[in-house]
Amino acid sequence: MNTELTITPNLLRRVGASGETITSGLCRALRETTFSNRMLIAPRRLDEIGKEQAAAFLGFLEAEDEGAVRERGRQLAFEGLGHRSILMMAEALRRACRESANPGDEALPTLLEAAGRYVNALLEGYMAGREEDILREQERTREAYLRARRRQAGQA
Amino acid sequence: MPEKTIVDASVPNAGRIYDYLLGGHHNFEIDRRAGDQIKELLPFLPKAMRLSRWCLQDVARTLTEERGFRTIIDFASGLPTMDHIHTAVAPGTTIIYSDHDPVTVEYGREILGDTPNVHYFQADCRRPEELLNRSEVVEILGGDRHVAFVYWGVSMYMSDEDIAHVARVLYDWSDEGSCMAFFIAIGNPEVPAFAKMMEIYRQMGEELYFRPLEVFKELVKPWHSDELGYRTVNEWHGIEVEMSEEELEAFGIDYGVYLVK
């Protein structure tokens, strides 16, 4: 069980002020891994995902709702985001947090811990989503084969 | 696509290899092995395929929202996943998907479920008259011949004669103002790795065809391009895709176009 984070209003304000830096870091990471995604995600969608993720992280700092983050990760898997993209995005988030703090900033460990928890929950949801997706597609493929075989046999 | 390989999971299948190279799960070990062999020869190929596939939503929006088509007939559709045409069209648009592979058709129907106005039939893209003459399709269209056709990511499976046939049949069948969105893959069979890939497909019973853009333009006459002309995939996406000199020599630059009657 994770202990509650001590995100002070002051820290929230400061991170909120770095929102654009976080967003641009996430968008850059996603653009760099454009081709690692499944065919479902067109390049123009990447910036939208970057913005959504930045907003979600800021929301997490306030609400600390790891369940919502897991669900977000799950949806990203369904949408077709590749694992390289999500790992790069996680790294970009950590980097943006480090860069948003001043040297020797007392709040930095808390912020990094928050980023770590966010990333863990996101990855956990993502992996669950990938597994769910693969199993669902496996079942669909099996069903489709059976039906096609039956249809062909009926036509023979 | 030869009939013998269609529901046969013991030999590689071009459609399933395509799915594998795009990161899908609708494929088997035998397809993945063939796909890996192809990827090793031409590492850029999966990128080229993605660049093509990513255009589909643009095509769907442009045809319906900007150009007002209420009916889209898509050939060699593959799986109607959530990036496909029906997810991006204006509400009320009728979509007719088709594919030669019966498994893809069954799978596609399951994905679509009871999505309104979206249909999926088995048909050979090289013989569009077969789809257009199906009684179900005739009924769906209800006499409407002002339609948009889509041939996206399939030109490499069509010989010059096939393309000329398709162009002629659809031109004669459709009303004035109809449109055909076409993606043209430009490859260079002179490049050894490219020739080897074509040989792998040939061994699976699948012939691949590539031709210069100028040849394609002749084949599709009297269709002519719209005011946007033939656009490279980079232009479609507004991105710069880095290609090495070898990749450029092998793949050239692919184009998309809206042909109009």
The model's pTM: 0.83
With beta carbons under 8 A apart, name residues in chain B contacting A80.
Answer: 23, 83
Q: Return the pLDDT at A2.
A: 65
Better-scored residue on pLDDT, A145 or B136: B136
| Tens digit of each residue's pLDDT (9 = 90 or more) over B154-191 | 999 999 999 999 999 999 999 999 999 999 998 888 88
For A43, other C-beta atoms within 10 Å of its C-beta total 19
Q: What is the pLDDT of residue A86?
A: 95
How confident is the model at residue B11, as a pLDDT? Answer: 83
The minimal CB distance from A148 to the residues B49, B81, B103 is found for B103
Structure-model confidence comparison of residues B206 and B143, the more confident one:
B143
pLDDT of residue B62: 93
Average pLDDT, rounded, for chain B: 89
Give chain B as a 3 state SS string. CCHHHCCCCCCCCHHHHHHHHCCCCCCCHHHHHHHHHHHHHCCCHHHHHHHHHCCHHHHHHHHHHHCCCCEEEEECCCCCCCCCHHHCCCCCCEEEEEECCHHHHHHHHHHHCCCCCEEEEECCCCCHHHHHCCHHHHHHHCCCCCCEEEECCCHHHCCHHHHHHHHHHHHHHCCCCCEEEEEECCCCCCCHHHHHHHHHHHHCCCCCCCCCHHHHHHHCCCCEECCCCCEEHHHHHCCCCCCCHHHHHHHCCCEEEEEEC
The position carrying tokens 């123009």 is: A44
pLDDT at B225: 96
Asked if A138 reaches chain B (Cβ–Cβ under 8 Å), the answer is yes
Residue B10 clears pLDDT 50, i.e. is over it? yes
Q: Tell me the average pLDDT of chain A.
A: 88
Residue A71: the pLDDT is: 97
Residue B80: list chain A partners with CB under 8 A.
none
* Confidence band, pLDDT 50/70/90 cuts, at residue B14: confident
Express each pLDDT in A98-141 by its tens digit.
887 777 778 788 888 999 999 999 999 999 999 999 898 888 88
Residue range B89-101: average pLDDT? 92
At B250 the pLDDT is: 76
Check residue B1 and give its pLDDT.
44
Bridge-based pairing state of the strands B231-232 and B179-184: unpaired
Average pLDDT in the B55-61 region? 90
Kindly determine whether residue A151 and residue B106, on different chains, have CB atoms separated by under 8 Å: yes
Return the structure tokens found at B161: 């004669």
pLDDT band at B103 (very low <50, low <70, confident <90, very high): confident
Question: From the CB of residue B186, how many other CB atoms can be counted at a distance below 10 Å?
Answer: 18
Question: Quick check: A50 pLDDT over 60?
Answer: yes
Amino acid at the residue B65: E
What average pLDDT score do residues B44-60 get? 88
Nearest CA in chain B to A133: B25
Judged on CB neighbours under 10 Å (0-12, 13-18, 19+), A67 is exposed
B30: number of Cβ within 10 Å: 17
SS3 of A55, please?
Answer: helix
- Cβ pair A147:B106 closer than 8 A: yes
